[in-house]
Structure 1
Amino acid sequence: MLSFSILGALQIRTALGAAEISGDLQRNLIQTLLVSEGRPVPGEILVEEMWGDDLPDKQVNALQAHISRLRRKLKSLEPDLAFPRVTMHPSGYRLTIHEGEFDAAEFTKAVRQAEAAGDTDDIATAQLLGQALAMWRGPVFGDFPGGTICQLACARYEEYRMRAMELRFEAELRLSRHAAMLAELHEAHSNHPLRERFCEQLMVALYRSGRQADALNVYRAMRQHLSDELGIDPSPSLRQVEHAILAHDPSLTKAAAVLLQPA
């Protein structure tokens, strides 16, 4: 059994350790097939993804050569496998990925599971998302983002990561673990200064920790940043948290506060 990891630099692991994929074209090829998550990719799309504007002569032959090379590489890693991992279909080439073999698919599945669970079991949700977020070793594909399809996939998986962080913080705050989350919330807000939900969660955690002035300073800085960068005002949700802090709204200190429900 192989495992494929893209939440960080591309990795393929076997029971004996990591396998090397050499060459930019081969990495582009397998990354494109991976992010398609079992769906066939038309040959012309693969050619564009691999070579961009620098198209080779005899594109079909060049692509088939790289497909054959990838098949041989994967076969060498699974010599007992009866069928090739990469197969050709009427609509294109497909990489077979089994359950549990692809970290990005497992990660997005965990986020969807947490979203479906809502606030029914915050301890389980916090644990599930903590484990899922630990899969990330760095930016998707590391320093090799690839072509357009791979870049779009990077953005998609990164958005799932942001959502996972929000949902985990929500669960932790409902469990009254605001003090334990302060450092991570500060980091999330600093790294994503236009993500208003992180700002709201940080403000609530600060307020619950007896730091009302700091919570309001975070809001003022966010308001100024939104104005300077985007020319907009804070969202109604963010303003609601500020008003609740100013009014010492009792709901802010309740684990199930309405203000802490996902936006």
Structure 2
Amino acid sequence: MTRFAVLGPLECWSGPQQVEIRGSLQRSLLGALLAAEAKPVSVRALVTELWGDAPPAQWENALHAHVSRLRRRITGCSDRATTEPGGSPRLIGLATGYRLVVTETDLDSLSFTRQVARARAIAAIAPSEAAELLRSALSLWRGTAFGMITGGPMARAAAHHLEAARTVALEVLFDVELRIGRHADIIPALRELVESPQLNERFCEQLMVALYRSGRQAEALATYRAMRHRLDEELGVLPTQTLRDHERAILNHHPALHTRANHMALRE
């Protein structure tokens, strides 16, 4: 079975064996086709992806050669690499472009997206199951999406979209974990995220709630002050009203902060 991975360095696997995709243009081509997640990609988009605004004089021949080389490369890795279960080609040439057929079991980004969607759909009625689904989805990540490959706008846009989806999945996971009483377990992960270069007030809110529920009110308030300072120093802005409401709720021992209470009511 051939699998493709983009939630980290771009990889192609045939069973337990990794298939090396050599050359920046070959990797950019595969990255663009995978970024489309089984949807057609136009010739124009692929040319831009590979060469930007300066394609070679014979770009039609060059693109065809790169597609043929990529097809041969993944064809050689296994009998199924370039075919669907019914025997149809995996890398399909179309009148206006190309399409790489992948499914949820073939491409980690599709599996991630589907698992997160299922988790969000059941979070209200089955939070423990939702948490397991989210942890399974997040475990697919091996690093930065697409591994910062040299690529064009399609790969970059897909990477940014996936990174944003990863952040949302983490936010949903921590909300679910707070709901089912695992506040102490998530403090280390939340602290690492809050102290990372990325400024995310939602993670700060969740860490404040987790610390408060763990009997660490002073640390929760210190977390707020540290975020307020960073927002002022790095962006010149105040915390959002929601984050300020969390500080006020902690000072006033708001009922929404009680263990297993609906802490998300503080965002309303």
Q: TM-score, structure 1 length as denominator?
A: 0.94
- For 2:64 and 2:266, locate their aligned partners in 1 and report how far apart those are by CA, in whole Å: 51
Match of 2:111, as an amino acid? E
Specify the alignment match of 2:39 in structure 1.
39
* 1:109 aligned onto 2:122: no
- For 1:157 and 1:40, locate their aligned partners in 2 and report how far apart those are by CA, in whole Å: 19
Specify the alignment match of 1:74 in structure 2.
74
- For 1:162 and 1:85, locate their aligned partners in 2 and report how far apart those are by CA, in whole Å: 31
Displacement of 1:66 in angstroms is 0.6
**1:183 to 1:17, Cα distance in 2 relative to 1, 3 A:** same
Specify the alignment match of 1:28 in structure 2.
28
Query: Aligned ranges for residues 1-263 of structure 1 at < 5 Å?
Result: 1-79=1-79, 81=83, 82-191=87-196, 193-259=198-264
Contact 1:49 1:148 in 2 (8 A): yes
- For 2:169 and 2:224, locate their aligned partners in 1 and report how far apart those are by CA, in whole Å: 23
**1:261 to 1:69, Cα distance in 2 relative to 1, 3 A:** farther
Aligned pairs, number:
263
Displacement of 1:195 in angstroms is 0.8
- For 2:122 and 2:30, locate their aligned partners in 1 and report how far apart those are by CA, in whole Å: 33
Displacement of 1:90 in angstroms is 2.9
Q: Which runs of 5+ in 1 are unaligned?
A: none
- For 1:220 and 1:65, locate their aligned partners in 2 and report how far apart those are by CA, in whole Å: 58
Match of 2:19, as an amino acid? A
Contact 1:111 1:163 in 2 (8 A): no
- For 1:262 and 1:4, locate their aligned partners in 2 and report how far apart those are by CA, in whole Å: 39
Displacement of 1:192 in angstroms is 5.2
CA-to-aligned-CA distance 1:48-73 (integer Å, 9 cap, x gap)? 11122442121111000111111111
Contact 1:71 1:84 in 2 (8 A): no
Contact 1:241 1:259 in 2 (8 A): no
Contact 1:252 1:259 in 2 (8 A): no
- For 1:261 and 1:71, locate their aligned partners in 2 and report how far apart those are by CA, in whole Å: 53
Quote the sequence identity (%). 43
Q: Larger deviation: 201-210 or 219-228? A: 219-228
Q: Which runs of 5+ in 2 are unaligned?
A: none
Q: TM-score, structure 2 length as denominator?
A: 0.92
- For 1:123 and 1:260, locate their aligned partners in 2 and report how far apart those are by CA, in whole Å: 20
**1:129 to 1:260, Cα distance in 2 relative to 1, 3 A:** farther
**1:193 to 1:78, Cα distance in 2 relative to 1, 3 A:** closer
**CA RMSD in angstroms, aligned pairs only:** 1.8
